[in-house]
Structure 1
Amino acid sequence: MRINQTILEHLQALEPNATFSGSGSRVHSSSGKSYFCKIGTSLDTEQYAGEARALDLMHQAARGLAPQLYAYGISGGFPYFISQYLDMGSYLSDHAARRLAKRLATELHQFKDPEGRGFGFDVPTHCGATRVERGWFGTWEECFGGMMRQLLDGLARKGSGEVVKVGDQVVQRVIPAILGNLEVEPVLVHGDLWTGNAGVDQHTGEPVIFDPAAFYGHNEFELAIARMFGGFPPTFFSAYKTLYPPAEPKSEFQQRAELYETYHYLNHALIFGGGYAGQAVSRMKRLLRYVDKDEDSSSD
């Protein structure tokens, strides 16, 4: 299969004395290296830009934790992307899970925006198929509330009545109550860290994460989708919490976890439909009951 000329020129700049061959998205170099190369349509331009920006920052924050980006651009109206190719296995052993927890807690989740712009991101990103408008916010409450509102607006356009009605109450009442007084710093998060976006480098045994929906947010948000679909052993969560303890109030860690999980259930409802909306509603109603109980006790 003939390699796209723009891609080939970038590869030749990286390795002037090498020859290249490949098919699909994997390109082999005569040096023994492999590259992940893809070309999108004009509709993919924004998504490619968001992924490239995220991988570049993740490489700065935690070198080797995500595939290194080598080139990104637009040629003839089509976006292209070149990164490191890694042979990965999908199973996270206890050792790899603990290593991942450590690298997240001590590297990625310690990385702050060099310009100090707050919570958010400078370009839109995609969480699965969902485009997430970003921008910058002074508080995590505002940032997360805006993220939730985007999903609810998308579900409203699909006619998802009950989930939107309950979600509106969560945005208005639960988010201010649980996140309003939370003092956390914006740190770089992967943003979509489920088991399908994590693996183990077959050559080094080190954990690798990919397909980010990155932004600067509350580090605990990262743990939400990791809990939802399995694949991350208990050692991952225990090791992480040892290195990066929950924010104060620690007593509301579980409520924050359910709130962040709700975001991903709503996103899955928007993308796939099915029972995800019901799962989101059950969590949101539980959070509303928690806030109501808290309000009742404070008024006694």
Structure 2
Amino acid sequence: METVNDKKVAGNMILYDDVLTILPEGVKAVSVESYGTSAWSQTGRINATDDKGTQTSYFLKYVSDEHGEPQLKGEYTGMLELYNTAPQITPKPYGWGRVTSEPCLYFYVCDFIPLTHAMPEPVKLAKLIADLHKTSVSPTGKFGFHLPTYDGWQPQEVGQWDDSWTSCFARLLKGLWELDAKMNGNWVELDSAMETTLAEVIPRLIGILERDGRSIKPCLIHGDLWETNIGTDATTGNIYIFDAAVYYAHNEMEIGIWRVNHHMMKAKIYRQEYAKQFQKSDPVEEWDDRLKLYGVKTKLMYSAGVPGGANIRQQVLEDLQDLIQKYGRKHTDPGTTESTDPVTVNGNTEAAISDDRE
């Protein structure tokens, strides 16, 4: 059934006047139609003509509820950061805003690109993402972002700048653990494993990347880069990324999601091809364990945000227990007997590793 709004734009979605103000000058909307599916939003395609009469299209997203404002502000700001860094793989964002005629409705608009959702070609994708990571420059030289970004409807604790990736990641993971507990209830075994991970595993497994002369470049990452958020242009074959949850991070954080079992991109070839384009951080032999830890972030997001997703908590617990066995208090850093520095999150020291190791 078609509807017509005040601007006489036909279609099966409402195209509010506030959205029209975001479109480029000279563009006239002709129709709007539902396009795609989303668990957290309503999405559509605006069909239009530009000032020369050429047909063009734009992607439209509506989000209601109170999280709509920070969610779409974060998406627009993050996608603009991606577009300014890697326009060849990012649909151009035009803006976001509030629908003033509705009590709690927000929108986001970007270029519409006809995409297929076949699995991306591994070699091409690896080079594009590695190039994004290599060429990106944090505006502060720090990790995080200048405002919160969202993974789906879920906020990420990345909306501040941090000198240390170790503490930035610890804060992010701690926030997701708390969100998962809020949504699914506390689980004693998981709570214990998370406390040990924050106190011992992260300072050792991640902290080692930032000491003994080592350093990490803050890289701009998409933040939720799995097959559903990657598409291939049906006409040109170009790969595009979208629906981002960006922040500046250790580059390997991007591909931890490619190790998670419930994603098709768990195929090793994606990680292997990326490693050919971007050298593994030292210690190289701990690369896969770092990806396992980074993948816990994705699993906690899934557990907290997807109906029935709590089943994945068992995998989170098993991953953490395996990492604790390798990098917990009894583990000594390669070639040294020095203790690991404590991780500070939100101004509080989560825990310190004792100098007296067993």
- Does structure 2 conserve the Cα–Cα contact (< 8 Å) formed by 1:62 and 1:108? no
1:81 CA displacement? 1.4
The aligned counterpart of 1:281 is: 317
1:295 aligns with 2:332: yes
Q: Distance in 2 between matches of 1:18 and 1:75?
A: 19
1:227 CA displacement? 2.5
The aligned counterpart of 1:8 is: 20
Out of 136, 149, 154, the position equivalent to 1:111 is: 136
Structure 1 gap segments, 5+ residues each: none
Work out the percentage of aligned pairs sharing the same amino acid: 26
Aligned length: 295
Q: Distance in 2 between matches of 1:242 and 1:91?
A: 23
**Residues 217-237 of structure 1: per-residue CA shift (max 9 Å, x gap):** 000011111232123654432
- Does structure 2 conserve the Cα–Cα contact (< 8 Å) formed by 1:195 and 1:232? no
Instruction: Go from structure 1 to structure 2 and tell me whether the alpha carbon gap of 1:189 and 1:274 turns closer, same or farther (over 3 Å shift).
Output: same
| Match runs of 1:1-300 below 5 Å | 1=3, 2=5, 3-11=15-23, 14-16=24-26, 18-24=28-34, 25-30=44-49, 31-41=54-64, 43=66, 44-76=68-100, 78-94=105-121, 97-116=122-141, 118-134=142-158, 135-157=160-182, 158-182=185-209, 183-228=215-260, 229-231=263-265, 234-272=268-306, 273-292=309-328, 294-295=331-332
Deviating beyond 6 angstroms after TM superposition, the runs of 4 or more aligned structure 1 residues are none
1:152 CA displacement? 1.8
Q: Distance in 1 between matches of 2:244 and 2:134?
A: 14
Structure 2 gap segments, 5+ residues each: 6-14, 35-43, 210-214, 338-356
Instruction: Go from structure 1 to structure 2 and tell me whether the alpha carbon gap of 1:163 and 1:50 turns closer, same or farther (over 3 Å shift).
Output: same
What's the TM-score, normalizing by structure 1? 0.91
Higher RCO (Cα < 8 Å, 6 or more apart): 1
1:275 CA displacement? 2.1
One-letter amino acid of the structure 2 residue matched with residue 175 of structure 1: I
1:15 CA displacement? 4.6
User: Max radius of gyration: which structure?
Assistant: 2
Q: Distance in 2 between matches of 1:86 and 1:26?
A: 10
**Residues 39-70 of structure 1: per-residue CA shift (max 9 Å, x gap):** 33351000000100110000011113121101
Structure with greater helix share of residues: 1
Q: Distance in 1 between matches of 2:174 and 2:180?
A: 10
Q: Distance in 1 between matches of 2:26 and 2:290?
A: 51
Over aligned residues, Cα RMSD in angstroms? 2.1
1:210 CA displacement? 1.1
